Amino acid sequence: MIKKLAMLLLLVGAIFSAQADEVPSVGSMAPAFSLVDQGGREVTQGSLRGKWLVLYFYPKNDTPGCTEEACSFRDDMAELTRLGAQIVGVSVAEAPSNAEFASKYHLPFPLLADKDGAVAKRYGAFSDWLVTGFARRYTFLIDAQGKIAKTYLKVDTSKHSAEIIADLKQLSSSSGK
């Protein structure tokens, strides 16, 4: 019985881990993407160059953790902007769901619809639970040239925005900006 359970767990683990690429490493170029935001506008990774980019993946609109994370970014938007950063959220939801979420919480940044999870997969942030897929709560801090400066694979939604701000200050001062 224990052998069968162990085999089942290994099989399930293999299925889940096979669904996403590796997480891009710090210093590598951020994977390119082209997705639609909540207003139906196309947003590309290339169009976001020239400033720091906080690209965050989140599991589901209007859930407690995702709402806390998004609202923290919203509440800290002035400081993030002052530090030269732009915020972009990505989920596997469709654009209308993202639009409702953004409207309900007055989110002043794009929420991109990655319906098939292709972009989340390229960032190693996709989980497939056989009947549904979702984005893992991962964040990538990308520099103005499009390179990954920092990855966040364990996110505390109550402190994440403050963590990003502290890292932006540190990274900006160490690069002489």
Q: How far apart are CA 135 and CA 133, in angstroms?
A: 7
Number of residues assigned to the chain = 177
Q: What are phi and psi of 112, to 5 degrees?
A: -95, 140
Low-confidence ranges of the chain (pLDDT < 70): 1-20, 130-131, 175-177
> Which secondary structure element, helix H or strand E, spans residue 140, and what is its range?
strand 139-142
Which of the residues 20, 66, 85, 90 is marked catalytic? 66
- Count Cβ atoms within 10 A of the Cβ of residue 27 and give its class: 0-12 exposed, 13-18 middle, 19 or more buried: exposed
pLDDT for 172 equals 85
pLDDT for 14 equals 43
Which residues, other chains included, contact 3 with Cβ-Cβ below 8 Å and sequence gap of 6+?
none
Q: Which domains does the chain have, with CATH numbers?
A: 2-174 (3.40.30.10)
pLDDT for 4 equals 52
- Does the active-site annotation cover 71? no
pLDDT for 176 equals 56
Q: What is the pTM of this model?
A: 0.86
pLDDT for 10 equals 41
Q: How far apart are CA 138 and CA 57, in angstroms?
A: 5
Q: How far apart are CA 46 and CA 62, in angstroms?
A: 28
How many Cα neighbours within 13 Å face the side chain of 58? 29
